[in-house]
Amino acid sequence: MELNYYPETDSLYINLSEQPSVDSQEISEGILLDYDAEGRLVGIDIDNASHKVEMEKLILSQIPSKVETANA
């Protein structure tokens, strides 16, 4: 899983899988769910993220895998 914030467009993309998205569904204004060819959720796109998501702090709890950070 990977979280990417794009300040130039104020959008947050949560990539849940490496599978390509083939379909998207807007579930709320500016919030889209991306699905792969098998109908599995592979990503979440949030427009105007700074107004919809509290991004000041990220807490990871009991994650069963390696956590990496990247500075853009």
Cα–Cα distance for residue pair 16/32, rounded to 1 Å: 13
pLDDT tens readout for residues 12-65: 999 999 999 999 999 999 999 999 999 999 999 999 999 999 988 888 788 788
What pTM did the predictor assign? Answer: 0.85
State the DSSP H helix or E strand holding residue 19, giving kind and residue range, or none if neither.
none
Tokens of 13: 């993309």
Domain ranges of the chain: 2-52
